[in-house]
Amino acid sequence: MPNIISICGSLRKGSFNRMVMTALPKLAPAGLSIKEAPSFADFPLYNADIQNSTGFPAAVNVLAEAIRAADGVIFCTPEYNFSIPGGLKNALDWISRLPQQPFIGKPIAIQSASPGPLGGARIQYELRKSLVFLDALTMNKPEIFVGNCVAKFDEKTGELEDDATINLIRQQLEAFSSFIERHGTKA
Ligand SMILES: Cc1cc2nc3c(=O)[nH]c(=O)nc-3n(C[C@H](O)[C@H](O)[C@H](O)COP(=O)(O)O)c2cc1C
């Protein structure tokens, strides 16, 4: 059974992207397990001096190991200033310097949510660009942009309740499952 990990690009408690991420396990097709990845919240800012003196921080190795062990990774991330949120970019920067860089050949799917109308369309292309350098295998379609997202969650529970979004996410997860079957090396 393919096991997927999900990485949320937002660190804040009330994150809409986390609400999307939380909805994934029950929208996944039978046989696809989706669990949250270990957090990157405690990664120090990337500095080659840290890497060269005390080595990679433990939290970097923990996330890297989870990525290596997964059949695929789903990013649920906001767009910051038309680009990748700093915390997430910092995490990718640390991971990119590891020996046995864990993203090589790894199937990836991307989702983004924003209160704005485009749903974070621009961050997805920035993230794809970094994932090219990391030699990951990013699925092209279907794309998930949750625009005008505030109205799409239950105000009290944070549950995703927009049927069109739910259907699109179901389609993407089905496609990701097939993508992993076709291209994944671990499944
Ligand atoms: C530093 C910063 C930059 C932002 N830049 C963008 C942006 O470029 N495009 C966009 O759609 N929303 C932008 N926003 C608004 C975020 O989409 C919004 O805060 C969203 O709720 C963040 O995701 P989260 O709810 O998962 O934390 C920005 C927010 C912050 C804090």
Average pLDDT over residues 105-119: 98
Binned at pLDDT 50, 70 and 90, residue 186 comes out as low
Average pLDDT over residues 15-32: 97
Alpha carbon distance 130, 92 (integer Å) = 8
- Give the β-pairing of 107-113 and 144-146: parallel
Alpha carbon distance 16, 150 (integer Å) = 8
Contact 37, 66 (CB under 8 A): yes
Average pLDDT over residues 76-86: 98
In the reported structure, the alpha carbon of residue 24 is separated from the centroid of ligand 1 by a whole-number distance in angstroms of 21
In this structure, which residue's CA is closest to atom 10 in ligand 1? Answer: 79
In this structure, which residue's CA is closest to atom 4 in ligand 1? Answer: 80
Average pLDDT over residues 37-55: 97
Q: CB-side exposure of 97: number of CA atoms within 13 Å?
A: 16
Average pLDDT over residues 80-100: 98
Residues lining ligand 1, Cβ inside 6 A = 10, 12, 15-17, 78-82, 114-116, 120
